[in-house]
Structure 1
Amino acid sequence: MRPAATKIISVLDGQLWKQMMVSGAKALELKKHDVDALNVFPVPDGDTGTNMFLTIQSAAKDAEKNNSQSIGEVASAASMGSLMGARGNSGVILSQLLRGIAKGLEGLNTANALQIAQALQSGVDTAYKAVMKPVEGTILTVSKETARAALSIAKNGGTILETLQEAQKQGFKSLAKTPEMLPVLKQAGVVDAGGQGFLIILGGWIGVLTGETLVDTFNEVDSSSKISDAGSTEAKHEFLQIENLDYPYCTEFLVKGTDLRVEQIKHDLLDRGDCLLVVGTPEVVKIHVHVKNPGKILDYAIQWGTLHQVQIHNMLEQNENMAHAMKEDTDKNGEEISKETKDEEQVLKEFGVVAVAMGEGIAEVFMSLGVDEVVYGGQTMNPSTEDLSEAVRKVPAKQVFILPNNGNIIMAARQVKDVVQEQQVHVISSKSIPQGISALLSFNGEGDAETNLKNMERGLKSVRSGEVTYAVRDSQYGELTISDGDILGLVEDVIVTTGKSINEVAKATLDKMEWKTHDLVTIFYGEETKLEDVERLQDWLREENSNIEVEIHPGRQPLYYYIFGVE
């Protein structure tokens, strides 16, 4: 039910807040690719809009499942959903904004204009605290100016609608100034993507108050679902009621092929299960869904290409085991631990490792080095906090180290600490695959946690990382004039060279990395890289410096022809 456009709404309750979450998600769904296009770098990883959409989508899904009239309770549910679904730095910051808003609305059944404005300010405060080194000219600045305007209008007696409209108006003024705050935005000729995404969501919220909501329910939200996503229980001692598992099989896999249509696959699977996630590229798509019959999903997916990393978990069995374990865990007074539980505790090792990998070959290397669980992801496919949390929970260890191996995944990984309470989680700040491998080689299973943290952080700093990819649009980057389709060489995420030949750019990139002055060059070649090109590059390295050690692995990563590590 939509509020009438002419009706003045003096307070918001839980159901209105739910509609606002849904409308905000739908608004960004329609504009996510426009936000993606604001990427300052012309490389194929412009996914700010997609990451923010998947985050607000998760918030909307959890809000939809909450039928409370209390705005505080619905906001809390949305906050938990955003926490679990957060992807990328922009998604994590958005989840922190929603977390702070939920704090501001905590304990309220309804909220007036001033309380909404104060909640927005609480969101901004929480987001700033969550970022180790806040940068102005980003979503942080835009949300800060938005909240400031909201407080000003609300304190002067403005309605909720007037408050949010003025907040959005000032937010757009702030957004227009972001290129002046960040030179990299000005050079690329774009405004901040995260700030744009936030204002689009805010526009969806306003639409509920004006009667201009895009949809009454979000098209990927199953409001009849009786369970939340796996891993999102409110406390570690709670468990899902067995009879409520309508879709008991958690099914997750990759599809590889050509011309994979992500939106079409997503649409086809909408009504086949719960907790649906479909992300990827035309060559690789990741699918996660809870279903009644995994076979039907696999039969559908195999029509698109080949299946990989298929994982099917019976959540009903897991639930029953958890229930039985909890029942046996204590005696009548809840004091005596059962022998079975003691035995289970004794088999837990002290340390485990979870690593993020962007290709099957890279995943195999991590597994060969002792990683317990590999989460598929990287550029354009950032795993969520929930994905990482599920991987941590699968590791039979008291303490788990996470190797994000991508700068845009680190913040989501750090949020795992807020989700997983039964294990101690340590996040290593690895920003590339070579850094992750170097950190892993510094890990000692017999050492203590503090020493391992120091050694792994020191280890990732001992390697230089480089990549060879392609440009997705014309642009100017420093002194480099880049055309759509050009081959790009990056060192530590900075574009250092460009050209038309993959191997010539690879050589120039390695030279920028000063490879001849080091002892080891590691090369991961991508799924689209020709083997003869790899052999030619290897011959060149040997001709230029026969004393250096060269390791070559079929990384099979998408988007990147080569990933280099020099140490």
Structure 2
Amino acid sequence: MTGNKEVITGNDYKRMIAGAYSAFLLEYENINALNGESLLDRKAGTHILRTIGAAAMSLRDLQAESIGGVSKRVGSAAVLGARGNAGVLISQILRGIAKGLSGKYEASSSVFGKSFQYGILYAQRAVNDEVERPIIVTAKAVAKGAYNAVRANLPITEILTEAINAGGIALSQVEHKCGFVDAGAKALMVFLQGCRNGLDGYYVSPVLLFSSGFKTSHDVPNPRYDLVYPYAVSCRLEKCRASKDDLAKMLKPMGKVIVIKSEGRDVLLYLHTDYPGNVLEQAVDWGTMEDVKIQNLAMPHNLKSVDKTMLDVAVLAIADDEASAQALEELGAIAVITKDKVSGPSVGDLINLIHSDIAKNYIIMANNVDNSLVMAQAKRLLNNNIEILYSTNLEEQIKALKVFNPEIPMKENIKNMNETLNVQ
């Protein structure tokens, strides 16, 4: 049998991500209306839309053409941009796809099909419990459909079609068994259908969509607000010629500035950005660069102090509003308030704050179950510096904070706080 010579490029993959975003733009409210119990996520559609929005926005100025480079950037942005339990699962699919495409300039249909299987495997690992949720049942069927299509040496579009068909059958079986359409499983199918549409050229660029004054009767999240900064850039500027105020003004448009610290005539810089090259290109004019380091924040890493930390352990408590935040801060927590109360914080929101050198270690206090996988993803990225308290409302947060003691180790604190909530 003659081998299939079709390949998929980085530009093809960009279209697929735009297609997935376009599909969720049309379907996210319908998914929100479905049963989200299996994911404990009441806004699965919105959470996935915003997660894919972060991935799509990461490509807006990207010049790279290799599918390995494009998929890596998409996976990193999705991991940090993930919101809600459903968003975390989709981000893991994109991370797994990037794993399968790593180092490739372009990919054959076989390699691309296998990368999708990687994606499903990563999503299954993210859940990591004994309950076989509908989205995992559907995902396994999708992986099997893709595997069979790859073995049959089908073109890339047909691999996606076979995966979608297999997932659709599984989705119907799950619906018949459960008596309802599961939001997570349905969202997975919309994602795959959007990828196929994008590959075929049926999509709308999220950047162009909103820059052109797009109007809707619904409250559509603007993807510009989901931009994440996956790379930490640090360097020392010897004999720096710019003042700290001017440096802050020049760096602000490039990302989130964490540290600008004077050390004699030298300046230590540390910021999170989406394009490290832009930072370095500007910095060469400010002084002699030494000790340049670039770190991918979407990969597991150790939290290292850039500036002098103030505390050994601090509590980050998710809050819905200013009143809740004030109540939490009066008990010694650092409140994390997000601009919209529907989605809650992204993984990147937590990582940015944790890297701000407030403390060496952190306890994160959730305030609902919708974001439990967001907290778990943040912990995976900074495993040695984070513990999670799975509180479900403000009252539980306050109860746990009353026994928090910044003078004792993190492990001891989390034990006392969990015992207060009767968590075994």
Is contact 1:137-1:192 (8 Å) kept?
Answer: no
TM superposition shift of 1:90: 0.5
Structure 1 counterpart of 2:221: none
SS of match in other structure, 1:402: strand
CA distance in 1, matches of 2:60, 2:66: 13
Structure 2 counterpart of 1:284: none
Is contact 1:435-1:459 (8 Å) kept?
Answer: no
CA distance in 2, matches of 1:161, 1:246: 47
Matches within 5 A, 1:226-375: 229=227, 231-233=229-231, 235=232, 237=234, 315=256, 324-325=267-268, 344-345=307-308, 348-375=310-337
Structure 2 counterpart of 1:405: 367
Please list the CA deviations of residues 208-236 of structure 1 after superposition, one character each: whole Å capped at 9, or x if unmatched: 3334x1225544688xxxxx945421x56
TM superposition shift of 1:358: 1.6
CA distance in 1, matches of 2:405, 2:185: 42
Does the C-alpha gap of structure 1 residues 99 and 332 become closer, same or farther in structure 2, counting only changes over 3 Å?
A: closer
TM superposition shift of 1:134: 5.2
Structure 2 counterpart of 1:461: 422
CA distance in 1, matches of 2:258, 2:363: 27
Per mean C-alpha deviation after superposition, the further-off stretch among 356-365 and 48-57 is 356-365
Structure 2 counterpart of 1:169: 165
Q: Is 1:197 the counterpart of 2:163 in the alignment?
A: no
Structure 2 counterpart of 1:50: 46
Please list the CA deviations of residues 179-232 of structure 1 after superposition, one character each: whole Å capped at 9, or x if unmatched: 345x4xx2xxx3111221221121121113334x1225544688xxxxx94542
Q: Which runs of 5+ in 1 are unaligned?
A: 1-7, 223-227, 251-273, 275-289, 291-314, 335-340, 464-567
Structure 1 counterpart of 2:355: 393
TM superposition shift of 1:395: 5.6
- Among candidates 438, 463, 471, match of residue 399 of structure 2: 438
Is contact 1:137-1:177 (8 Å) kept?
Answer: no
Greater RCO structure (CA 8 Å; 6+ sep): 2
Is contact 2:15-2:203 (8 Å) kept?
Answer: no
Does the C-alpha gap of structure 1 residues 40 and 333 become closer, same or farther in structure 2, counting only changes over 3 Å?
A: closer
Please list the CA deviations of residues 267-318 of structure 1 after superposition, one character each: whole Å capped at 9, or x if unmatched: xxxxxxx9xxxxxxxxxxxxxxx8xxxxxxxxxxxxxxxxxxxxxxxx5695
Q: Is 1:154 the counterpart of 2:150 in the alignment?
A: yes
SS of match in other structure, 2:313: strand
CA distance in 1, matches of 2:375, 2:11: 31
Please list the CA deviations of residues 462-488 of structure 1 after superposition, one character each: whole Å capped at 9, or x if unmatched: 79xxxxxxxxxxxxxxxxxxxxxxxxx
CA distance in 1, matches of 2:176, 2:118: 26
Structure 2 counterpart of 1:516: none
CA distance in 2, matches of 1:29, 1:343: 40
CA distance in 1, matches of 2:55, 2:335: 26
CA distance in 2, matches of 1:318, 1:220: 35
Structure 1 counterpart of 2:85: 89
Please list the CA deviations of residues 410-448 of structure 1 after superposition, one character each: whole Å capped at 9, or x if unmatched: 211222235569x82222222222222222222221111
SS of match in other structure, 2:405: coil
TM, length-normalised to structure 2: 0.76
SS of match in other structure, 1:408: helix
**Equivalent pairs: percent with the same residue?**
27
Does the C-alpha gap of structure 1 residues 104 and 249 become closer, same or farther in structure 2, counting only changes over 3 Å?
A: same
Q: Is 1:34 the counterpart of 2:30 in the alignment?
A: yes
TM, length-normalised to structure 1: 0.58
The count of corresponding residues between Structure 1 and Structure 2 is 365
Is contact 2:259-2:307 (8 Å) kept?
Answer: no
- Among candidates 8, 17, 25, match of residue 21 of structure 2: 25
TM superposition shift of 1:460: 2.2
CA distance in 2, matches of 1:320, 1:14: 39
Does the C-alpha gap of structure 1 residues 107 and 246 become closer, same or farther in structure 2, counting only changes over 3 Å?
A: farther
TM superposition shift of 1:248: 6.0
Q: Which runs of 5+ in 2 are unaligned?
A: 212-225, 237-241, 271-287, 292-303
Is contact 2:88-2:374 (8 Å) kept?
Answer: yes
CA distance in 2, matches of 1:343, 1:123: 34
Q: Which amino acid aligns with 1:196?
A: K
Does the C-alpha gap of structure 1 residues 321 and 430 become closer, same or farther in structure 2, counting only changes over 3 Å?
A: farther
RMSD value, Cα:
3.6
